[in-house]
């Protein structure tokens, strides 16, 4: 029995503490295309505002988590 995939929201985060985290979406593989190229390092996205957040490879916040960097551009989310 195949489960129907929920519609991907406009704003989605992989952080379970975020109000934009939708657990049902992560039961399936999600792809993000940013500026025409598929990226695998996206932490959060917003399609209508046209931005993604990626984690910094070196800088940490005061809790020891990677600092998020916001990049602006065309965002497209899809199921693989």
| 3-state per-residue secondary structure call for 60-78 | ECCCCCEEEEEEECCEEEE
Q: What is the pLDDT of residue 43?
A: 95
- pTM of the predicted structure, to 2 decimals: 0.86
Tens of pLDDT, residues 20-59: 999 999 999 999 999 999 999 999 999 999 999 999 999 9
Residue 2 has pLDDT above 60, yes or no: no
Q: Residue 75 pLDDT > 80, yes or no?
A: yes
| Residue 74: φ, ψ to 5° | -70, 130
Say whether pLDDT at 1 is over 50: no
């Amino acid at each position: 029995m195949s489960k129907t995939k929920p519609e991907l929201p406009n704003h989605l985060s992989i952080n379970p503490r975020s109000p934009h985290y939708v657990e049902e979406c992560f039961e399936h593989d999600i792809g993000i295309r940013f500026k025409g190229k598929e990226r695998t390092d996206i932490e959060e996205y917003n399609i209508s505002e046209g931005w993604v957040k990626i984690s910094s490879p070196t800088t940490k916040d005061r809790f020891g988590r990677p600092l998020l960097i916001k990049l602006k551009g065309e965002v497209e989310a899809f199921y693989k």
